[in-house]
Structure 1
Amino acid sequence: MTAPDLKPDLKLHAIPDWASVIIRFALEEMAVPHTLVKKDFDAGDLDSPVYRAINPLGLIPAMETPNGPMFETAAILLWLTDRHGSLAPGPQDADRAAFLSWLFFTSNALHPAAMALIYPDRPAGEAAAAAAIAVAHEQVRARLGLVEAMIAAKHPRWLSATEPGVLGYYIGTLVRWMTMLPPAPHAITLTAFPALHAVLAAHEARPAALRVALADGLGPTPFTNPVS
């Protein structure tokens, strides 16, 4: 009798400390076997026709699945949680609607504002970068404030210090990148967001998160006290 094929059926295209690490946190937490396909940005890997067939935008992350290739962080996270039944409310759960709202808020509002803060020349050009930073800083603080208020008021199980979730890993990674920016005048810290700080501290201390952080050289506290 032939042994079953145990090869992972997921291939995650990744660059260390890019958005693919959000997917890695989720896969490791779920204990889902997968193959990591490392890409080299400087070598032009993301512009190759082969990769563009997987992700037409040439961005990270992208994942090859039994259902075909996927891209966009939130889409991959949602597919994984539904497929494996963990780290988020399921389709029939009462808190599914709230979770979806905040997942797409993170993807469509918080993530773009974070990128504008980190790379202000992208939306505004070099000449207007300083103004773009100021706008992005206010957007980020306001949007993190909404997350903070929601956690403090609702104590959702899908973004909590007692239960891991994909949204904690997603927001934690964005916060990591923003708090690694040079300080004032537009520094982002977790001081003003104690409820969120508690959630991210709990997530980064989980064995799965520590394994990813060690593999990618992110340090032992990648969200609350990140190192480059």
Structure 2
Amino acid sequence: MIRLHHVPGSRSTRVLWLIEELGLDCQIVVWSLTDGSLRSPEFLALSPAGRIPALQIDGRAIFESGAIVQYLTEREGRLAPKPGEFARADFLEWVSFAETQANILQALNIQHIFLRPDSARSVPLMKLDTRRLAVTARALEGHLSRQDMLLAGGFSAADCMMGFNIEAVFRFLPKAEFPALAAYRDRMTARPAYRRALDRAGGDSIYQREFYELPDA
């Protein structure tokens, strides 16, 4: 049995999407970001930094979504260039780029959503991270204006890593400024496996607004 430890709306949705693309069965164990359970000994035994996702598979637990994605694609022999192939470096770059972008999104989530009271927020940091996010979005915009998927060979697990981010990107950046990225988001969200994963994922436990404006200083 494959068991995915998951928070609705979190990066574990990437792994669930890939599992659906690969046609694997899995059990979902749902956790909360706010009730302290991710710091419990039970969860820390699976993910020592107390972070989602964690995947129990093949008699062990794997943490970090990038590592899980690489493990699953190598295990199944699909949706990634094989080690030694020319496109493998491109695949690894985009998997890592997706995490770079996700960490900026996490910083914005903390500032816009999780810090209380509002006076605890740092407007200069929010502006800085919004600019950093825009740098990543512009890089993707240029790349995806030339091809439909991250890899020239077509859809891969790197698209599960990155495609999950884009809904969150457009919570902080206006999608009208990134038409190629918006079209990529539409292609990703139209995939049947993505729709199945979303149905199983349990909604979104993070965002309560369509768009988060930067506050005045």
TM-score computed with the length of structure 1 as normaliser: 0.78
Q: 1:126 to 1:81 in 2, by over 3 A?
A: farther
Tell me the percent identity: 26
Q: Letter of the aligned partner of 1:117 in structure 2?
A: L
Q: Which residue of 2 aligns with 1:211?
A: 196
Q: Are the counterparts in 2 of residues 103 and 167 from structure 1 also a CA contact under 8 Å?
A: yes
1:113-132 matches, within 5 Å, as 113-120=104-111, 127=120, 129-132=122-125
1:168 correspondence with 2:159: yes
Deviation at 1:91, TM superposition (A): 1.2
Say which of 101, 105, 108 aligns to 2:97: 105
Deviation at 1:71, TM superposition (A): 0.9
Q: 1:67 to 1:90 in 2, by over 3 A?
A: farther
1:26-45 matches, within 5 Å, as 26-45=18-37
Q: Letter of the aligned partner of 1:100 in structure 2?
A: L
Q: Which residue of 1 aligns with 2:215?
A: none
Say which of 40, 45, 48 aligns to 1:53: 45
Deviation at 1:12, TM superposition (A): 0.7
1:48-87 matches, within 5 Å, as 48-66=40-58, 68-87=60-79
Q: Letter of the aligned partner of 2:96 in structure 1?
A: F
Q: Are the counterparts in 1 of residues 149 and 159 from structure 2 also a CA contact under 8 Å?
A: no
Uncovered stretches (5+) of structure 2, i.e. residues with no partner: 205-209, 212-217
Q: Are the counterparts in 2 of residues 159 and 199 from structure 1 also a CA contact under 8 Å?
A: no
Deviation at 1:35, TM superposition (A): 1.6
Secondary structure, counterpart of 2:52 in structure 1: coil
Q: 1:143 to 1:88 in 2, by over 3 A?
A: same
Distance 2:106 2:91 in 1: 23
Q: 1:127 to 1:16 in 2, by over 3 A?
A: closer
Higher RCO (CA 8 Å, separation ≥ 6 residues):
2
Distance 2:84 2:109 in 1: 37
Q: 1:116 to 1:126 in 2, by over 3 A?
A: farther
Q: Are the counterparts in 2 of residues 168 and 199 from structure 1 also a CA contact under 8 Å?
A: no
Deviation at 1:128, TM superposition (A): 5.4
Distance 2:166 2:148 in 1: 19
CA RMSD of aligned residues (A): 2.8
Distance 2:110 2:84 in 1: 39
Distance 1:78 1:106 in 2: 13
Q: Which residue of 2 aligns with 1:191?
A: 176
